[in-house]
Chains A and B, each alone.
Chain A
Amino acid sequence: MKIVVIHDDISETSPIMVMLRVQYGDDNVVLHTHSQPGLEYVLSNLGQKMVVLLDKNFYDGKEKSGIKVFEEIRAKTSLVSVILTSVSNISDIGEENLKILINNDLFAFESFTSDYSKIIELIDKAVEGMDLRIDAVLEEWIVKQPEEKRERQYITTKGDKSYTLNEILESIRQRTEIGRSLEQNILKLAVDLLTRKNMKLDD
């Protein structure tokens, strides 16, 4: 699990970075103080489970905003948890931007103050959530498969469609049919096993 901090007001020596490194390990916490390199880092590491702590404004609006970065992450994947922070109030976010955040599954919004405990708590909660996400587990597994395996047919349907693992990965990230179907079937398998094993124990 990687914690990616994209924030122009945090440095490598900031208390929040120290706290995160203690909790998640030096190698698992990454800081970008500019929005574009931060976005590029996230998009080039999509196979890695990530929680992103993202600032709303960069250098007084001179760089790509946090909301734009969030939108661009969501265009590629729904499997990254994003926590947006701002020194301003949530009421200062316009209606259109609020819709973007809410409708695209922002994990949390939190004011950025000198008390980091709330933000750390939210990051912990997001990490816990990622560990339990079936889509994230599937993504992580697919990314680890050899490219040759990922490019050949993996599942076909008798409705005349076929999917490679790469296509399934894309579908999981974009939350389209075959990816959602796989997630649902994994849940069904879990429920089915619990139900049938219980029945056997009760016999």
Chain B
Amino acid sequence: MISTIVAYDDNDSDLGDYFVDSHENITVVLRANAQIVNVSIRGLDCTEVFVNSTITPLNGNRFIFIGISHGNEEELVSHEVYVSASNLTSFSNSLFYSCACLTGLKLGKNLIGAGCLVFVGYNDTVLVNVDYFEIFYNCQNHCIKEFLKGNETIEGSFSKMIDYYNEEIDKLLPGDMDDLLAATSLINNRDCLILLGDRKLRLNDFEIA
């Protein structure tokens, strides 16, 4: 069995729809693997107390956590902060995958310092062009989707995500100015991606007997 937890802020006024679609985009892959047992946490339940109580029954075993919401240097945020310095240790033994702004700057390092195995996130502002949601969440989810297929290390999956960003950027280039500006935002996001921790981990390293 492999445990995954996906927190997504469907309640956000600006990006709620984006987060919902992004969540669905990942859960298609989760559902395809019979070994995976997933718990999804919706926006109003994205609180520190609820997140911690979802992790506790895993009894310290390895798990994969995916945060689809806003964030900042030190926190993941929905209507309130749900990952911060005060619950870092809950994520020891996890693969932590964040799509939020800036979390690579401090939160990622703090998580690794607290025993998190590997962190994937962004160390600067993540941009999303409103008319291009699907392209943006496909890029942002590519690494974790590749990893969940089980054939790649996290490093290999991360590398495939960079390649995927490049392919999507190239596809936009023959387009109009809106397409070009979307491509520049993808470049922005690609260039602030960060991978911390054990790069050689594979999906089967998260199997629980």
Contacts and interface: CB of A to CB of B under 8 A. Distances in A.
Binding between chains A and B: yes
Interface of A: 141, 152-160, 162, 181-182, 185-186, 188-189, 192-193, 196
User: Which of A156, A158, A192, A196 has its CB near the most chain B CB atoms (within 10 A)?
Assistant: A158
B183 interface: yes
Contacts of B181: 155, 182
B99 interface: yes
14 contacts: A152-B130, A155-B128, A155-B130, A156-B18, A157-B126, A158-B69, A158-B99, A159-B70, A159-B72, A159-B102, A185-B184, A188-B187, A189-B169, A189-B184
A87 B75 CA distance: 60
B56 to A, nearest CB: 28
A164 B69 CA distance: 21
A159 B125 contact: yes
A192 B166 CA distance: 9
Interface residues of B, number: 31
Interface of B: 14-15, 18, 69-72, 77, 99-102, 122, 125-130, 166, 169, 173, 177, 180-181, 183-185, 187-188, 191
Contacts of B70: 158-160
A185 B15 contact: no
B191 A157 contact: no
A141 B179 CA distance: 13
B34 to A, nearest CB: 32
A196 B129 contact: no
A202 B18 CA distance: 39
A140 B166 CA distance: 28
Contacts of A160: 14, 70, 77
A152 B191 CA distance: 27
A185 B185 contact: yes
Contacts of A155: 127-130, 181, 185
A157 B128 contact: yes
A189 B183 contact: yes
Nearest to A188: B187
B130 A156 contact: yes
A162 B16 CA distance: 13
Contacts of A185: 127, 184-185, 187-188
A43 B184 CA distance: 30
B14 A162 contact: yes
Given A158-B101, A185-B185, 16 more contacts: A153-B14, A155-B185, A156-B128, A158-B69, A159-B100, A160-B14, A160-B77, A181-B125, A181-B127, A181-B188, A182-B184, A186-B180, A188-B187, A188-B191, A193-B173, A196-B166
A98 B177 CA distance: 39
Top 9 A-B pairs ranked by shortest CB distance? A159-B101, A185-B184, A158-B126, A158-B101, A160-B70, A185-B188, A189-B184, A158-B100, A153-B130
